A and B are shown apart, each in its own frame.
Chain A
Amino acid sequence: MAKLTGLQIQKLLPKTNCKECGSNTCLAFAMKLAAQKAELLECPYASDDAKQILGAASEPPVKKIQIGTGKTFSLGDETVLYRHEKTFVNQTALAIHINDTDAVADIEKTLQAIKAYELDRVGELLSVDAVCITCKSGNTATFAALCKKAHEITGRPLVINSTDVAQLTAAAEAVKGSRSILASAAPETADVLVKVASDNGHALAVTAPDLDALTALTAKIKAGGFNDLILQYQTHSLSELFQTNSIARRAALKDSYKPLGYPTLHIVLESDRLDESVVAANEISKYGGVCVLPSFDPAQLVPLMSLRQNIYTDPQKPIQVEPKLYEIGEPTKDSPVFVTTNFSLTYFIVSGEIENSGLNAWLVIPECEGMSVLTAWAAGKFSGAAIAKFCKSIDLDNRVATREIVIPGYVAQISGELQECMPGWKVVVGTQEASDMESWVKVTYPQHLK
């Protein structure tokens, strides 16, 4: 439904101006509602009609669903098709697949690995979001027990995967309250499974042979009052998966088509590790909700998690760190001084490499509007004069006794200018790539190595 204006909303309010909502008048409150700066709940006198109408109008085009209790993540709530329009908000969740028929020792190992895995990348901790357990044994008790164990060990929500109602029910009860995903309900099993999901506090993935049957199913379930749904498309090829993801998201966003206004779940079934990662990249790039990978392999996860981090960043504003003088390790007044930009990626790479090289050092980070070294230089933010001015503003001369400053190799051309602007200092040109710093440091600053 289209968004309502403040005046339209005011007509739905009691118009008593009793101020209990915190606004002086009902109209003022209505304006806040229209601007999404207030919630209808704040007015204790709102009628049921008002709640229903406003509820439908304010419903996001793609339902937001929170998964998990301890380690949680959200799905859906997206408003744009292309990231240059506005930031994508809830990133594709990556889950790891386990069959309940896998060897016990392997399962244990995978669960422990998932639990332990945590990678610091550009200041963000990346980890596996969920575990998908598939019932292959046909044994309800085995399946439910493994689900319980997987949740207990990893603390992660699950994707509980089976087509059998009894198996899903047992597992759903075993991890009641974990806010997992039951996967999945088909048109024949939906009635029972909606109740199971709702009784045990889980989201429900729904699936059907084609889009017509799927949309009929979600519409029916929603009409029945359950709305924590996740779409699992049945597609026969990568081409169909990609097109279905795109068509559905566009229908939800541009045509407010509610039966497709949900996040998705895709279980990757490819049998080649690179083909698998292509499907995951497809999900990350094009509207995937939860993506289940066949096995736990950091070599596959790291590029996917990094891609995901990139695609879900704010397209307008680069992630940046505060401009200031940073300490790497425990520098003394005589420790070496390096300089780079305040683009988060650059900062984290460079500070990591300096640390890695075994130095205690100072790192000067001037204000560069979050741009990389060459970008900032091309934009005039990383000139010799700009760097010198910043050094002065932080009183570098008095904070360190060192009189050598190392600049990035890619901006060797600024060394002359910087030299002129920083009397008494010697400008040293470092390596181009930060990853070559370790060996460079060994030669250049052996006396400072820890």
Chain B
Amino acid sequence: LDAATIEALKKSILAEVRAGLTQDIVRDIIGTLSSKFLGETPAASDVETPATEAVEVKPSAAERLSKVTSFKIRKETADTPLWEVKLGATKAEGGTRTVTHKIGGASAMPFHFWEGAMPNRPLVAMEVYDLVSAKYPAVLRNIYGSLLNNPAEMAKVLVDKYGADVISVRLEGTHPEKGNRSVEDSVKLIKQVLSAVGVPLIITGHSHFDKNNEVLKAVAQACAGENLLLNWVEQDNYRTIAGAAMAYGHTLVAQSPIDVNIGKQLNILLTNMDLKKEQIVMDPMTGAIGYGIEYTYSVMERIRQTALGGDKLLCAPMIVSPGQECIKIKEYKATEKDFPLWGDLAKRAAAWELNTAINLLYAGADVMIMYNPEAAMAAKRTIRKLMAN
């Protein structure tokens, strides 16, 4: 090899290393610090400009689209925007959160910036568990390892390392048939998670009405003023939890089985109890890709369109659970060895959960509870890109 070739080689290697490094650094920043860049700190809630954005000098979508003159861009904006729901409460507000969020408030379909506003970006929540079911997929066990048995520690990692905006604590273990953990244990766990992280919490229960109500009520009471998101109430079981939300200053998730009318009916029942609209987030019920997502997708688009069309009782922000739905399915568990046509399991699982989330994001999801950290981070990058109008 002559000197010139060696020099050229050196140069190209250096350039490659540099490019790689910048990418790594950028990823690192996004990964470890995204909560700080993207979370609205209460002191400066309007700070924009995530660090990586500064690199881009391209004209914005708004700038380019506003210059179109060849045809008139049709605009459809709502008279009444969606209502806003605040998650978490700071010390000054009666809680202990260092970061709080607002969701909702949009006056057009998601990311339709040419015709309306979307004042609050959708959030990526991640979840910790009081009980890890035997069916919890290996893909995630490999990633989280022993953290799974240490919910408070895991919550901290989800926030610090993966940028979770919100933490959901799933109290499945209090179900009478799944361990029947006590109310006291649950309260203690929630307190631990509250002190481990500064972001708002979602408290996710289960379908055993009696026990669920008992647990959520006790948690609501013990954490009065924290503005927790109590997940969930449904048409046949809403009074106790709605009462607790009102009494102790929390918000709640109103779940309906992929049905616009039941969704609206439940909002009516709740507001009749004097719960404020601003305390309600709707859960349209999630189906994963390949397992009913099209129903969720369309019912969400219908809910959002009906709301923007003037139905004031449907103007709620929406929450979906891509993580919980995806981990049930075979595509999240079957190995490439058994299903060669399905490709690498770890990659497939992340892509499955991510695409489920992205599709629902376009239909109007304001909070997405995700399990796969790679998917969660990619979802957050996507939200940032879509919001950077």
Contacts and interface: CB of A to CB of B under 8 A. Distances in A.
Interface of A: 82-84, 117-119, 121, 210-212, 215-216, 235-240, 242-244, 246-247, 250-251, 254-255, 257, 259-260, 272-275, 277-278, 281-282, 284-286, 297-304, 306-307, 309-311, 313, 315, 345, 349, 372, 378, 433-436
A299 B290 contact: no
Contacts of B179: none
Contacts of B356: 303, 307
Contact of B113 (A243, A255, A259, A310): A243
A297 to B, nearest CB: 6
Closest 8 CB pairs of A and B: A299-B343, A298-B343, A240-B61, A299-B347, A274-B378, A299-B348, A310-B294, A236-B58
Contacts of B56: 237
B237 interface: no
Contacts of A211: 65, 68, 70
Nearest to A274: B378
B206 to A, nearest CB: 15
Contacts of A117: 341
B388 A239 contact: yes
A216 B71 CA distance: 10
Interface string B108-124: 00011110000000000
A386 B375 CA distance: 42
B209 interface: no
Residue in B71, B113, B331, B386 with the greatest tally of chain A CB atoms within 10 Å: B71
Residue in A216, A254, A274, A303 with the greatest tally of chain B CB atoms within 10 Å: A303
Contacts of B362: 242, 282, 285-286
A171 B331 CA distance: 39
B49 interface: no
Interface in B332-364: 333-334, 336, 341-345, 347-348, 350-352, 354-356, 358-359, 362
Q: Is the interface of A mostly helix, strand, loop or mixed?
A: helix
B71 to A, nearest CB: 5
B64 interface: yes
A238 B389 contact: no
Interface of B: 56, 58-61, 64-65, 67-74, 111-114, 135, 257, 289-294, 297-299, 301-302, 305, 328-331, 333-334, 336, 341-345, 347-348, 350-352, 354-356, 358-359, 362, 374-375, 378, 381-382, 385-389
A243 B61 contact: yes
A278 B305 contact: no
A180 B112 CA distance: 33
A425 to B, nearest CB: 27
Given A82-B305, A282-B362, A239 B385 contact: yes
Given A84-B298, A307-B355, 13 more contacts: A84-B302, A210-B67, A236-B58, A238-B382, A239-B385, A243-B114, A273-B351, A274-B354, A274-B375, A298-B348, A299-B351, A304-B351, A378-B257
Nearest to B293: A310
A84 B260 CA distance: 12
A364 to B, nearest CB: 22
Given A239-B61, A244-B65, A247-B65, A307 B298 contact: no
5 contacts: A83-B298, A121-B290, A212-B70, A247-B73, A299-B336
A246 B355 contact: no
A211 B289 CA distance: 33
Contacts of B374: 274
A301 B355 CA distance: 11
Contact of A239 (B111, B301, B330): B111
B279 to A, nearest CB: 28
Contacts of B351: 273-274, 277, 299-300, 303-304
Contact of A315 (B113, B292, B294): B294
Contacts of B257: 378
Contact of A298 (B113, B289, B330, B342): B342
Contacts of B343: 297-302
B70 A83 contact: no
Nearest to A273: B347
B37 to A, nearest CB: 18
Contacts of B358: 278, 281-282, 285
Contacts of A243: 61, 65, 111-114, 389
Contacts of A273: 347, 351
A281 B359 CA distance: 7
A260 B71 contact: yes
A235 B63 CA distance: 12
Contact of A303 (B113, B305, B348): B348
Contacts of B113: 239, 243
Contacts of B61: 235-237, 239-240, 243
Nearest to A83: B298
A257 B72 CA distance: 10
B62 to A, nearest CB: 9
A281 B343 CA distance: 18
A345 B330 CA distance: 13
Nearest to B298: A84
A287 to B, nearest CB: 11
Contact of B354 (A216, A237, A277, A378): A277
A315 B347 contact: no
A259 B70 contact: yes
A306 B355 CA distance: 10
A237 B58 contact: yes
A54 B112 CA distance: 35
Given A82-B305, A278-B354, A299-B347, A259 B71 contact: yes
Nearest to A234: B64
